[in-house]
Amino acid sequence: MMQGEGSPSASLIDRTIKMRKETEARKVVLAWGLLNVSVAGMIYTEMTGKLISSYYNLTYWPLWYIELALASLFSLNALFDFWRYFKYTVAPTSLVVSPGQQTLLGLKTTVVQTTPSHDLAVPQIPPSPPSPSIQGQSVLSYSPSRSPSTSPKFTTSCMTGYSPQLQGLSSGGSGSYSPGVTYSPVTGYNKINYNLKCGSPDSTSPSTSPTFWNYSRSVGDYAQTLKKFQYQLACRSQAPSANKDEADLSSKQAAEEVWARVTMNRQLLDHMDSWTAKFRNWINETILVPLVQEIESVSTQMRRMGCPELQIGEASITSLKQAALVKAPLIPTLNTIVQYLDLTPNQEYLFERIKELSQGGCMSSFRWNRGGDFKGRKWDTDLPTDSAIIMHVFCTYLDSRLPPHPKYPDGKTFTSQHFVQTPNKPDVTNENVFCIYQSAVNPPHYELIYQRHVYNLPKGRNNMFHTLLMFLYIIKTKESGMLGRVNLGLSGVNILWIFGE
């Protein structure tokens, strides 16, 4: 970068400071030089015109010598100032920096020598290979035919989400929509811990239509929010645990044993943190964020239609179901929204909690064995856990992706076939049973049933995510990416991209 004693960074800063001082000094000496020239010129004019001696009737010869001395002094000061200005201009302090360093230090092009970044002694990181498209389908529509798009490159530092742009939903017309969807990368997700406080744009961005189902975010939209959020590791429990390392090791070994029954490639487990991060982002950006925005849009339409008593989050689920039948021609998306909210009678808590989970890009407020505090009240078991909420919206989303089945007229095709919740139990003896089994509610615990085998991953905060990942991984590797007649790959639901090539 530059030659000098000490570290290159310290030398760069010192010379930058020196260069800034020279720039300021050049302006000052030029001003002083012009001032000295002006004063010397005024005194010279007085010497030739004899104005003061004539006005005050003074003897001229002593005054002339005084004026001569002053004129000489100011002239010498002016010459010295102009010489300093000439020195700063002709031979300024120079730096060799990259364009990025020039911008960071706030330097002008006239005082620096910029070089391409590859000429500087900076370690280069080879570009990562492109990953499959992360394009997903709209949460309120089923559209099997979509054009693929290029995908972002996820880093191991932090993945706080990608930004979907959903288009194509109008307020009227039929109930069949085919939104075009594109995604743009934003940031990454820290591999160390999933409960990072990641920043993302507020979910209440202004809409362009009454039923706002198309939104677009750029990296610039994240600037203000990133100023408010800082990446921090999740708080550790203060309770002492003498056997914590042993417990973590045994949990990891138990997970490896379960995964070994699915794949013999143990190296894939090294990507588990990355898979989980991408999966959390996929749920957030594909389901939660669009769902919250559509709910708010529908609530606005309800108020405009003179039905303030049917605000989502305030009205009962029964009232919303009835309104979905009556107002289907006017608000066709209401029936689909109701499916996502049909989890608990406490609609106010459910909607507020979904909004909280949708903020932060990677569900930073997610608590696997409980929920959030609400109106000053601590969470209790009469409310659903965050795991229950995420599992419900995930199943509901896939219900809308799978085609209707005559055996399930309620439209819950995926939930009825692939999700079983205690006290019900799956038929493990049936080879065709492929389902996620919630064997415990509080705290929640999930198992996977596939081809008469029970895959029981370790308990804890990642149990649900890892069970769902195993479910999707089996579909990718053993079912050719097909869930029944629906492709979960690029040409279908497009969720299998999280596993990479």
Helix/strand/coil (H, E, C) string of 444-473?
CEEEEEECCEEECCCCCCCHHHHHHHHHHH
Q: Contact 459/439 with Cβ under 8 angstroms?
A: no
Do 349 and 403 share a structural domain? no
Residue 99's pLDDT band (cuts 50, 70, 90):
low
Q: Specify if 131 maps to a domain.
A: no
The Cβ-side half-sphere exposure at 226, using a 13 Å CA radius, reads 9
Q: Specify if 119 maps to a domain.
A: no
Residue 425 backbone phi and psi in degrees, to 5: -130, 140
Write down which residue in 363, 380, 402 finishes a domain: 363
Highest mean pLDDT among 118-122, 292-296, 361-365: 292-296
Q: Specify if 423 maps to a domain.
A: yes
Show the tokens assigned to 71: 């004129």
Measured distance CA(155)–CA(274) in Å, rounded = 9
pLDDT at position 36? 86
Higher pLDDT, 334 or 25: 334
Query: Average pLDDT of 188-208?
Result: 38
Residue 93's pLDDT band (cuts 50, 70, 90):
low
Q: Specify if 156 maps to a domain.
A: no
Burial class (CB in 10 A: 0-12, 13-18, 19+), 398: buried
Query: Average pLDDT of 357-384?
Result: 91
Question: What kind and span of H or E run contains 102?
Answer: helix 99-105
Show the tokens assigned to 42: 């005024």
Query: Average pLDDT of 391-408?
Result: 94
157-166, 280-289, 450-459: range with lowest mean pLDDT: 157-166
Q: Contact 198/229 with Cβ under 8 angstroms?
A: yes
Q: What distance, in Å, lies between the first and last C-alpha atoms of the chain?
A: 39
Largest interatomic CA distance in the chain = 128
Amino acid at 225: T
Q: Answer whether residue 340 shows pLDDT above 60.
A: yes
pLDDT at position 111? 52
pLDDT at position 324? 92
pLDDT at position 424? 95
Q: Contact 349/357 with Cβ under 8 angstroms?
A: no
- Tokens 């309770």 — which residue? 239
85-94, 236-245, 319-328, 358-367: range with lowest mean pLDDT: 236-245
Q: Answer whether residue 400 shows pLDDT above 90.
A: yes
Query: Average pLDDT of 194-210?
Result: 38
Measured distance CA(158)–CA(156) in Å, rounded = 6
Amino acid at 78: A
User: Which residues are CB-contacts of 420 (< 8 A; sequence separation ≥ 6)?
Assistant: 426, 435, 436, 437, 438, 449
Residue 412's pLDDT band (cuts 50, 70, 90):
very high
Residue span of the structural domain in which 442 resides: 390-500
103-107, 108-112, 431-435, 457-461: range with lowest mean pLDDT: 108-112
Do 356 and 395 share a structural domain? no
> Nearest 5°: CA angle at 348, between 343 and 354?
65
Do 340 and 434 share a structural domain? no
Q: How far is CA 294 from the centre of its chain?
A: 20
- Each residue's pLDDT tens digit, 6-44: 455 556 667 777 777 777 888 888 888 889 888 888 887
pLDDT at position 320? 94
Do 326 and 407 share a structural domain? no
Do 398 and 449 share a structural domain? yes
112-121, 134-143, 158-167, 236-245: range with lowest mean pLDDT: 158-167
Q: Give percent of the chain with pLDDT exceeding 70.
A: 63
The CA dihedral of 79, 80, 86, 88, to the nearest 10 degrees, is -160
Q: Contact 241/427 with Cβ under 8 angstroms?
A: no
Write down which residue in 312, 328, 363 finishes a domain: 363
pLDDT at position 103? 61
Q: Answer whether residue 47 shows pLDDT above 80.
A: no
15-29, 147-161, 395-409, 461-475: range with lowest mean pLDDT: 147-161
Map residue 266 onto helix, strand or coil.
helix
The pTM of the full predicted model, rounded to 2 decimals, is 0.56
Query: Average pLDDT of 247-259?
Result: 81
Measured distance CA(476)–CA(326) in Å, rounded = 41
Q: Answer whether residue 178 shows pLDDT above 80.
A: no
Is the preceding omega at residue 130 within 30 degrees of 0, hence cis?
no
Residue 204's pLDDT band (cuts 50, 70, 90):
very low
Q: Specify if 155 maps to a domain.
A: no
Measured distance CA(244)–CA(232) in Å, rounded = 22
Q: Specify if 224 maps to a domain.
A: no
- Each residue's pLDDT tens digit, 101-118: 666 555 555 555 555 444
Q: Contact 156/309 with Cβ under 8 angstroms?
A: no
Q: Contact 235/197 with Cβ under 8 angstroms?
A: no
DSSP 365: T
Total of domains in the chain: 2
Comparing C-alpha atoms, which of 16, 12, 72 is closest to residue 47?
A: 72
Query: Average pLDDT of 293-309?
Result: 92
> Nearest 5°: CA angle at 151, between 150 and 153?
140
Characterize 37-56 residue by residue with b for buried, 16 or more Cβ atoms within 10 angstroms of its Cβ, and e for exposed: bebbeebbebbeeeeebeee
Do 398 and 342 share a structural domain? no
Burial class (CB in 10 A: 0-12, 13-18, 19+), 339: buried
Do 490 and 418 share a structural domain? yes
Q: What Rg, from alpha-carbon coordinates, does the chain have? A: 35
Measured distance CA(437)–CA(307) in Å, rounded = 40
Q: Specify if 81 maps to a domain.
A: no
Q: Specify if 123 maps to a domain.
A: no
Q: Answer whether residue 355 shows pLDDT above 90.
A: yes
Is the preceding omega at residue 240 within 30 degrees of 0, hence cis?
no
Show the tokens assigned to 325: 């039948």
pLDDT at position 417? 95
Do 492 and 396 share a structural domain? yes
Highest mean pLDDT among 10-19, 75-84, 321-330, 335-344: 335-344
Q: Give percent of the chain with pLDDT exceeding 90.
A: 40
Residue 252's pLDDT band (cuts 50, 70, 90):
confident
DSSP-assigned states of every residue in 339-351: HHHTT-S-HHHHH
Do 402 and 350 share a structural domain? no
pLDDT at position 12? 65
Do 410 and 495 share a structural domain? yes
Q: Answer whether residue 205 shows pLDDT above 60.
A: no
pLDDT at position 371? 95
Round the average pLDDT of the chain to a whole number and report it. 74
Q: Contact 436/448 with Cβ under 8 angstroms?
A: yes
Measured distance CA(15)–CA(10) in Å, rounded = 9
Q: Answer whether residue 197 shows pLDDT above 60.
A: yes
Q: Answer whether residue 159 shows pLDDT above 80.
A: no
Question: What kind and span of H or E run contains 292?
Answer: helix 289-304
Do 423 and 342 share a structural domain? no
Q: Contact 404/420 with Cβ under 8 angstroms?
A: no
Do 495 and 428 share a structural domain? yes
The Cβ-side half-sphere exposure at 416, using a 13 Å CA radius, reads 13
Comparing C-alpha atoms, which of 259, 222, 486, 156 is closest to residue 359?
A: 222
pLDDT at position 33? 85
Q: Answer whether residue 145 shows pLDDT above 50.
A: no
pLDDT at position 242? 46
